Amino acid sequence: MPPEKYDVVIIGAGVGGLTCANYLVRQGRKVLVLEHGKAVGGNIQGIRRKGFFFDAGSQSTENVGILFPILEELGLYDPAQWHRADFRWVTPDCDVVLRDFPQIRADFKGFFPDSAADIDAWFDFIEPGCEVMRNMMGALPFPLLKRGLEKYRVLARMARVGLPMVRLMPGTLTGPGSEKGREIFSDERLAFLFGQFGDPNMLLFMYFSFWYSFLHDYTYPRGGLVALADMLAASLLEHGGEIRLSSTVDRVLTSGRTATGVETDGGERYFADKVVNTGNPKRLVTEMCDPALLPSRYRETIRNGPVSISVVTAFLGLDMTDEELGDALKSSHTLYWRVYETSESVYDPEIHRKNWAMVSWVSRRDKTLAPEGKNSIIVQIPVPYDWMNGWGTGSADATARNEAYRELKKKVLDEIIEDMEYLIPGLRGRLDHKELATPRTLARYTLNPQGSIMGWSYDMYRTPLFGRFARFKTPVENLFQAGHYSIWPGGIVFSALTGKLVAEGMYEGFAKALLW
């Protein structure tokens, strides 16, 4: 009997892969999703420890007029299941919850009275761009979600709404926000805080998007972010799709220059008319594909492309009530800078005490995510994958672990807890559970290169997608790329968008899917 054949095999059960599969099965396609991990979700997997739930990767998501319309189109959107996730910024010199621009201006000027004029100058620049983003993303559907004439009607409306952005554009697509921060602020603390809160080379244009999201668009589902993946997976299975977990694809099968299926690490072969990779593109070009089928420039561009930051993640289960923790944290997410600097050096032993920390109160609004009367929080801090001689392993292999690795993890976790006492006094004595995941942990569970959390670097000019919106096709016929490495800037929302576009484009042609 010949082996079973699928219309499409999808590599990876993250948001991109599951969204793509959901659209395909609704087209009547026979679809198989193969997932390296033991659960669906990729970067939005979740774990439970002693009754405490923790998001293993991403902590919140935006909508930006994309995610919710996609879920609605798939019949999966319930607004009651999503709530806003607000932010707070803390340094040794200030403590500001981000509610609205007048309040933010007033609060920061209260903490830095000598820089009041500079603070006004910064927000005089940021606020109009943020408002345009709000009008474009919050009030209108994203044009690529529409088809036919409706796509162009939405584009025309978006162009009218976005017209004020033209005045703001000079320099925003060519220079980093850190330069604008130094231009406006004479106080180096504020130049750092406002101009370099993210990637030091992040385009200034991205700051409009971040501030829009801070104030209007970060959101979190009941059940944790993994609930989004579970919902997409359940819908896929309900519509006749298949998912196989713990199935790592090691090779793309080809006939001539055309993909014909995949082979897993267990030797299973699955044949299909089309193959979609939603995971690690570096692994695709260096290990999974016949190098003779890939032009050397394409292969080297992907292989050498810089990826987004990696983080250490502390999972902390607190014997602390909502009232106690609310007095300490005040918001869903707290961004905390102990010092006004960042470090990217793999040799800096204090890097986890210098870079920003994001504290996420997971169980703030969903009390099923922690035992009764207790709470779950997560602390994430940027730390390189190769830090301290490969986290003490002396190896680039994500699976390498030794006593030095375990000791370094213990030291980092203890020091993170010590530093978080500034935000949550008495934290050390209120812990029911503590655990640390390193960038190597994420790489091991997701196969993301260097444990990256978003896809390609926010420094757009250095990424393989420089000069283009997205790249869905590969040099191998019938082999496609979706997920956050196929579009910039990646993340949950744009991964979902790629799933829809690839599901449509690989059958209709991408020109038609994108333009009509």
Instruction: Reply yes or no on whether the pLDDT at 291 is more than 60.
Output: yes
Instruction: Reply yes or no on whether the pLDDT at 126 is more than 80.
Output: yes
Going along 431-501, which residue ranges are E strands? Answer: 431-437, 479-481
The reported pLDDT for the residue numbered 2 is 56
Distances (CA, A) of 219 to 10, 86, 507: 28, 8, 33
The reported pLDDT for the residue numbered 58 is 87
Residue 196: CB atoms within 10 A of its CB come to 21
Burial class for 482, CB neighbours closer than 10 Å (0-12, 13-18, 19+): buried
pLDDT, one tens digit per residue, over 460-477 is: 778 888 777 789 999 999
The reported pLDDT for the residue numbered 198 is 59
C-beta of residue 228 within 8 angstroms of C-beta of residue 43: no
Residue 82's SS3 state is: strand
What percent of the chain has pLDDT above 70?
Answer: 97
C-beta of residue 60 within 8 angstroms of C-beta of residue 220: yes
Lowest mean pLDDT among 1-15, 315-329, 414-428, 439-453: 1-15
Does CATH number 3.50.50.60 belong to domain 5-44+63-76+222-305+454-515?
Answer: yes
pLDDT, one tens digit per residue, over 347-378 is: 999 999 999 999 999 999 999 999 999 999 99
Closest CA to 63 of 12, 151, 133: 133
Residue 321's SS3 state is: coil
Mean predicted lDDT score pLDDT of the chain:
92
Instruction: Reply yes or no on whether the pLDDT at 344 is more than 60.
Output: yes
Residues contacting residue 399 through CB under 8 Å, at least 6 positions apart: 444
C-beta of residue 87 within 8 angstroms of C-beta of residue 331: yes
The reported pLDDT for the residue numbered 164 is 72
Instruction: Reply yes or no on whether the pLDDT at 192 is more than 90.
Output: yes
Closest CA to 446 of 125, 56, 151: 56
**Can you say how many angstroms the Cα of residue 443 is from the centroid of all Cα atoms in its chain?**
14
The reported pLDDT for the residue numbered 443 is 94
The reported pLDDT for the residue numbered 137 is 72
Instruction: Reply yes or no on whether the pLDDT at 44 is more than 80.
Output: yes
Distances (CA, A) of 40 to 326, 373, 503: 32, 29, 19
Closest CA to 21 of 502, 346, 508: 502
Instruction: Reply yes or no on whether the pLDDT at 290 is more than 70.
Output: yes
Local confidence band at 200 (pLDDT 50, 70, 90 cut-offs): low
Closest CA to 482 of 8, 28, 7, 150: 8
Closest CA to 390 of 450, 318, 308: 450
Closest CA to 229 of 435, 500, 496: 496
The reported pLDDT for the residue numbered 512 is 85
Residues contacting residue 164 through CB under 8 Å, at least 6 positions apart: 128, 132
DSSP 3-state helix, strand, coil percentages of the chain (rounded to 5)? Answer: 45, 20, 35
Domain 311-451, CATH class in plain words: alpha beta
Instruction: Reply yes or no on whether the pLDDT at 226 is more than 80.
Output: yes
The reported pLDDT for the residue numbered 3 is 67
The reported pLDDT for the residue numbered 340 is 93
Instruction: Reply yes or no on whether the pLDDT at 288 is more than 80.
Output: yes
**Can you say how many angstroms the Cα of residue 326 is from the centroid of all Cα atoms in its chain?**
26
Assigned token pair, 361: 């109160």
Instruction: Reply yes or no on whether the pLDDT at 18 is more than 90.
Output: yes
**Can you say how many angstroms the Cα of residue 281 is from the centroid of all Cα atoms in its chain?**
16
| CA separation for the pair 508, 471 (Å, rounded) | 16
Task: Give DSSP secondary structure letters for 376-387.
Answer: EEEEEEE--TTH
Local confidence band at 174 (pLDDT 50, 70, 90 cut-offs): confident
- Bigger pLDDT: 80 vs 147: 80
Instruction: Reply yes or no on whether the pLDDT at 109 is more than 90.
Output: yes
C-beta of residue 21 within 8 angstroms of C-beta of residue 275: no
For 7, phi then psi, to 5°, come to -70, -45
Q: Show the CA angle centred on residue 45, arms to residues 202 and 245, nearest 5°.
A: 125
pLDDT, one tens digit per residue, over 127-147 is: 988 888 887 776 667 888 888
- Summarize the confidence of residues 96-101 as an average pLDDT: 97
Local confidence band at 199 (pLDDT 50, 70, 90 cut-offs): low
Local confidence band at 270 (pLDDT 50, 70, 90 cut-offs): very high
What percent of the chain has pLDDT above 90?
Answer: 78
- Summarize the confidence of residues 305-314 as an average pLDDT: 94
End-to-end CA distance of the chain: 42
Instruction: Reply yes or no on whether the pLDDT at 280 is more than 90.
Output: yes
The reported pLDDT for the residue numbered 489 is 82
The reported pLDDT for the residue numbered 393 is 96
The reported pLDDT for the residue numbered 230 is 97
The reported pLDDT for the residue numbered 492 is 94
Helix (H) or strand (E) holding 287: none
C-beta of residue 259 within 8 angstroms of C-beta of residue 222: no
The reported pLDDT for the residue numbered 118 is 97
- If phi > 0 it is left, if psi is from -120 to 50 it is alpha, else beta; for residue 358 that is beta
Distances (CA, A) of 430 to 146, 238, 319, 363, 422: 50, 43, 5, 16, 14
Closest CA to 498 of 148, 162, 163, 70: 70
The reported pLDDT for the residue numbered 204 is 83
The reported pLDDT for the residue numbered 257 is 96
Instruction: Reply yes or no on whether the pLDDT at 77 is more than 70.
Output: yes
What are the residue ranges spanned by the domains of the chain?
A: 5-44+63-76+222-305+454-515, 102-110+118-209, 311-451
C-beta of residue 143 within 8 angstroms of C-beta of residue 151: yes
| CA separation for the pair 35, 42 (Å, rounded) | 9
C-beta of residue 275 within 8 angstroms of C-beta of residue 252: yes
